[in-house]
C-alpha cells in the first residue's frame, strides 16, 4: 500500500460508521434522554444513562492486551452483533408504559442499556488500533474528515427522522418506532463491518504481542499530557451536554422534536468543520485547531450563562444558534484530538493498550461526571442567589461554574505538544487576515481585468 493513499475497501469503514451512527445517535443520544424524561426520570438518572457507555468501557482493560491475538474483526463483530440484539428489547420497551408504572419501565431501560453498553465496552477496544493500522500517518486527517462526514450526515438523517416522530412526544409508539430505527441501523452496520480490510502486513509477533504493564504506559510524557487534556475537557466541557438539552427543553420551552432537529442541524454544520480540516489538519497540525475550539468554549458557556440569568432576550433563537454552532466546533475538536492521539501512540508497541487506557480513563470521567453534575443540578435548581444586583437561578450558577472551569482546561491545553504544528495565533492570523486578504486581492484583480 502506498504510504500516501488510503487502503482499498476503506469505504466499508465509512459505511459502517454511518449506519452505526444511526444506531447510537438514537439509543445513546437525545431520543433516549427525552424518553427517560417523559417517564419522569430525575436528572441523576439522566446522568446515569449518559454515563453508562463510558463507565462500561473499563472492560477494555481486560480485552485490550489480547485484541491482536483474537483479531480486530472477530472481536468487533462478536461484540457489535450481541449489542444489536439488545436493541430489540429497547424497541419494545415504550409499549410497556401502557400497563407498567414508570418506575418499572425506567428500571428496565437502565438494565437494557447496561447490557448494551457492556457488550460495546468489551469490543470497542479493537476499533481505533484497527483503523490506525490500516490508515497511513500522512493521510489520517483526510480519513478522519471523511469518516466524520459520513457519521455527521447519518446522524442528521437519524435525528431528522426521529424528530419527525417525536414532535408528539406523548405517543409511546413514536419512541418505539425511533428505537426500531436504531436497531435497523445497527444491524445494517454489521454487513459493512465484516468487509473492512485487515492490516496489509501481518501483525507482529513475539515482543509486540506481549502485554505491557499498564503503569508503564503512564511514563510516556506525550501520551500523559494529551490524556490529561482529554480528561479535563471531558469533565469540564463535554459532560454537560445532557443538561444543556434539559435546559433548552424546560427553560427555553423548545419541543422534543425540534430539539432533535436542532441537534441534526448541528451535525450538518459539523460537516463544514470537517471539510475545513480535510486539507489543512495534516499540514498545520491538530494543536492549533484545539486552541481555536477552546476560544469558542469561552464564548459558548458565557452565552449560556447570560441566557440562564435572563440577561439576553430571544432565548428561543439564541439557544438553537448556540447548539448549531457548537456542532461546527465540536467536529473540529473531535477530529483534531483523534488524529493527535493516533499520531502520538499509533507507532508505539502496545498501541491497543494505549488506546484502551486512554478510552477507559476518559470514559470513566465521562461516566461519573454526568452523574455528579446531575446531582449538583438537582440540588441547585431551586436556588436563587443574589450577585452584583442579579438574581441567579440554578442553571445560571451551573453555567457560571462551567465557564470558570475553563481555566483548568486552558492549563491542560498549554501542556499539549505536537511536533511541526503551527501555533493557534498563526492559524488565526492566516484565517482572519491572510486568507481574506488573498480573496480580496483576487476579487479586485478580476474587477480590473
For residue range 352-376, what is the model confidence (pLDDT) as tens digits?
888 889 988 988 887 788 888 888 8
The percent of residues in the chain predicted with pLDDT above 90, rounded, is: 35
> Of 255, 238, 247, nearest to 377 (Cα)?
247
The whole-angstrom separation of Cα 226 and Cα 5 is 27
Q: Which three-class secondary structure state does DSSP give residue 382?
A: coil
326: which 3 cell numbers? 457548537
What is the structure's pLDDT at 201?
Answer: 47
First-last CA distance in the chain: 46
Can you tell me which residue has the cell 481486560? 62
pLDDT at 323: 93
Q: Is pLDDT above 80 for 386?
A: no
- The 3-state DSSP class for residue 218 equals coil
The 10s digit of each residue's pLDDT in 70-122 is 888 889 999 999 999 999 999 999 999 888 999 999 999 999 999 999 998 88
pLDDT given for residue 404 in this prediction:
94
Distance CA(118)–CA(428), nearest Å, equals 42
Q: How many residues does the chain have?
A: 449
pLDDT tens, 151-164?
888 988 887 888 88
Residue 206: predicted pLDDT: 43
pLDDT number for residue 426: 85
Per-residue confidence (pLDDT) for residue 297, from 0 to 100: 96
Look up cell 499509533; give the residue: 346
Band (203; pLDDT cuts 50, 70, 90): very low
Checking if the pLDDT of 205 tops 50, the result is: no
Which position has the higher pLDDT, 346 or 237? Answer: 237
Q: Most confidently modeled of 42-51, 135-144, 271-280, 400-409?
A: 400-409
Residue with the three cell numbers 438553537: 320
Indicate if the alpha-carbon torsion angle 169, 174, 179, 184 is positive or negative: negative
Domain 11-198+218-418 CATH superfamily: MFS general substrate transporter like domains (1.20.1250.20)
- Sequence-ordered list of residues with C-beta below 8 angstroms from that of 82, at least 6 positions apart, any chain: 119
Q: Quick one: pLDDT at residue 333?
A: 94
What pTM value is reported for the model? 0.79
pLDDT above 70 as % of the chain: 93
| Domain range annotation of the chain | 11-198+218-418
Question: Positive or negative, the Cα torsion across 378, 381, 384, 388?
Answer: positive
C-alpha cell at 293: 475550539
* Eight-state DSSP code of residue 421: P
Looking at per-residue confidence, does 347 or 154 come out higher?
154
Choose among 369, 392, 388, 346: nearest CA to 135.
346
Q: Which residue has the higher pLDDT, 146 or 44?
A: 146
Does residue 207 have a pLDDT over 50? no
pLDDT above 60: residue 247: yes
In the prediction, which pLDDT does 216 show? Answer: 86
Distance, in Å, from the CA atom of 139 to the CA atom of 131, rounded to the nearest integer, reads 12
Statement: residue 300 has pLDDT above 50: yes
Region 417-444: mean pLDDT is 79
Per the prediction, the chain carries an average pLDDT of: 86
Evaluate if residue 204 carries a pLDDT over 60: no
Amino acid at each position: 500500500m502506498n504510504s500516501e493513499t488510503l487502503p482499498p475497501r476503506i469505504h466499508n469503514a465509512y459505511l459502517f460508521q454511518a449506519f452505526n451512527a444511526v444506531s447510537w445517535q438514537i439509543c445513546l443520544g437525545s431520543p433516549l434522554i427525552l424518553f427517560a424524561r417523559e417517564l419522569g426520570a430525575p436528572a441523576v438518572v439522566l446522568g446515569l444513562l449518559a454515563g453508562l457507555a463510558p463507565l462500561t468501557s473499563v472492560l477494555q482493560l481486560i480485552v485490550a492486551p489480547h485484541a491482536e491475538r483474537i483479531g480486530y474483526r472477530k472481536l468487533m463483530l462478536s461484540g457489535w452483533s450481541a449489542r444489536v440484539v439488545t436493541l430489540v428489547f429497547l424497541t419494545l420497551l415504550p409499549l410497556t408504559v401502557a400497563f407498567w408504572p414508570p418506575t418499572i419501565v425506567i428500571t428496565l431501560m437502565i438494565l437494557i442499556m447496561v447490557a448494551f453498553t457492556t457488550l460495546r465496552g468489551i469490543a470497542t477496544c479493537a476499533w481505533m488500533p484497527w483503523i490506525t493500522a490500516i490508515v497511513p500517518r500522512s493521510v489520517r486527517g483526510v480519513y478522519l474528515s471523511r469518516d466524520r462526514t459520513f457519521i455527521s450526515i447519518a446522524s442528521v438523517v437519524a435525528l431528522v427522522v426521529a424528530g419527525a416522530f417525536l414532535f408528539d412526544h406523548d405517543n409511546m409508539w413514536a419512541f418505539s418506532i425511533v428505537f426500531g430505527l436504531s436497531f435497523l441501523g445497527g444491524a445494517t452496520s454489521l454487513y459493512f463491518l465484516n468487509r473492512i480490510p485487515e492490516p496489509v502486513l501481518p501483525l507482529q509477533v513475539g515482543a509486540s504481542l506481549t502485554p505491557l504493564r499498564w503503569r508503564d504506559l503512564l511514563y510516556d510524557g506525550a501520551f500523559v499530557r494529551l490524556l490529561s487534556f482529554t480528561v479535563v475537557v471531558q469533565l469540564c466541557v463535554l459532560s454537560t451536554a445532557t443538561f444543556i438539552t434539559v435546559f433548552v427543553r424546560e427553560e427555553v420551552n423548545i419541543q422534543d422534536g425540534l430539539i432533535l432537529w436542532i441537534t441534526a442541524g448541528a451535525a450538518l454544520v459539523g460537516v463544514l468543520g470537517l471539510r475545513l480540516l480535510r486539507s489543512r489538519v495534516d499540514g498545520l497540525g491538530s494543536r492549533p485547531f484545539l486552541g481555536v475550539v477552546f476560544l469558542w468554549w469561552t464564548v459558548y458557556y458565557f452565552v449560556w450563562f447570560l441566557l440562564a440569568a435572563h440577561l439576553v432576550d430571544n432565548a428561543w433563537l439564541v439557544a438553537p444558534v448556540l447548539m448549531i454552532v457548537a456542532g461546527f466546533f465540536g467536529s473540529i475538536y473531535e477530529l483534531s484530538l483523534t488524529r493527535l492521539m493516533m499520531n502520538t501512540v499509533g507507532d508505539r508497541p502496545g498501541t491497543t493498550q494505549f488506546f484502551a487506557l486512554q478510552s477507559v480513563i476518559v470514559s470513566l470521567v465521562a461516566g461519573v461526571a454526568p452523574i455528579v453534575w446531575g446531582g449538583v443540578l438537582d440540588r441547585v435548581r431551586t436556588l436563587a442567589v443574589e450577585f452584583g444586583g442579579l438574581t441567579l437561578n440554578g442553571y445560571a450558577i451551573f453555567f457560571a461554574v462551567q465557564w470558570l472551569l475553563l481555566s483548568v482546561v486552558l492549563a491542560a491545553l498549554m501542556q499539549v505538544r505536537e511536533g511541526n504544528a503551527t501555533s493557534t495565533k498563526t492559524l488565526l492570523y492566516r484565517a482572519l487576515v491572510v486568507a481574506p486578504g488573498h480573496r480580496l486581492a483576487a476579487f479586485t484583480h478580476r474587477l480590473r481585468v
